[in-house]
Amino acid sequence: MRAVVMTTVGGPLELREIDRPRPGDGQVLVRVHASAVNPLDTKIRAGKAAHARVRPPAVLGMDLAGQVVEAGAGVNGFAPGDEVYGLTGGVGDLQGSLAQFAAVDARLLAPKPATLSMREAAALPLAVITAWEGLVDRARVRAGHKVLVHGGAGGVGSIAVQVAAAKGAEVFATVSAARMPVVRRLGAVPIDYTTVPVERYVAEHTGGAGFDIVFDTVGGPVLDASFEAVRTYTGHVVSALGWGTHALAPLSFRGATYSGVFTLLPMLTGRGRAHHGEILRAAAALVDDGKLRPLLDEARYSLATVADAHQAVGSGTANGKVVVDIEP
């Protein structure tokens, strides 16, 4: 099969012919139709993601959408011909999705949303699982909550806005002025983070009480700002990028709580993989109910132009999720 291979950390990506994998126990062989490119993919390639390191030669790519070709022993619920999507590889020792075929743990998959194309479905898994773990699993988002999403027009942020809105919450999102219309269309009240300080938007939108849930998708100083924006006692800050060193005093003085989200943990450890499939099934129901859609960059890429896709993501010039077409 054809695949894009990272031969050295920081080196070029090479289009090669490699052996087609065979599904083991509990695995299905998927013919990959589309694979998303995430910022984490570019960091792994550059050797800047110690928590998701791969050993070259390696096939990168975490998100996929495709069709089941063969089911291994012990697989229930999937059969040849089924259209599926999932967050399945490209970290640790798991083969990624920038290849024509991938043998993946069936627990990591779910039926593809019926109303989405393969390209659209491939854009969802990492983002939707991260948003779901933060908002639903950790913070228990519900109707009546005021939710603030930092980075509301980004890959994870745009999905988090929609998930929170679908659960009945009142949603607000920090964003640049240019992206405010995007966030508004997704169902959130946009806040221009470049001109409006934390204390002002907390006062304006919560009467100074703070937000019930603050979901940080940016990290660094934005996580610090999240500690200042959360509601006293019952507030909950969630971060998908809580890697740095932070002062907890603002959070502690509010008596609020914090949760970190590490989406890759089930892939890296093998524990909790079935829950990823459960999340994707629930997300597919929201999609088919018209409550959740990915934001896609219009540019088209193939296996031969994966390096260009990585460049678009790494440079920040993409206008939405970048997706590579693997098979027509």
Q: Where are the domains of the chain?
A: 2-124+273-325, 127-260
Q: Which CATH superfamily is domain 127-260 in?
A: NAD(P)-binding Rossmann-like Domain (3.40.50.720)
b/e burial code for range 162-186 (CB count within 10 A of at least 16 → b) = bbbbbbebbbbbbbeeebbebbeeb
Let me know the angle formed at the C-alpha of 9 by 8 and 13, rounded to the nearest 5 degrees: 60
Q: What is the CATH number of domain 2-124+273-325?
A: 3.90.180.10
d(CA 228, CA 248): 10
Predicted confidence at residue 284, as pLDDT, reads 98
d(CA 144, CA 146): 7
Residues of the chain predicted below pLDDT 50: none
CB count within 10 Å of CB 10 equals 10
Residue 185 tokens read as 């269309």
Whole-model pTM?
0.97
Predicted confidence at residue 327, as pLDDT, reads 80
8 Å CB contact between 30 and 104? yes
pLDDT tens sequence across 274-328: 999 999 999 999 999 999 999 999 999 999 999 999 999 999 889 999 999 998 6
- What number of residues does the chain have? 328
**Greatest extent of the chain over all pairs of C-alpha atoms, in Å:** 61
Task: Name 138's Cβ contacts closer than 8 Å, sequence gap at least 6.
Answer: 236, 238, 259, 261
Predicted confidence at residue 328, as pLDDT, reads 65
C-alpha dihedral over 101, 35, 311, 218, to 10 degrees? -130
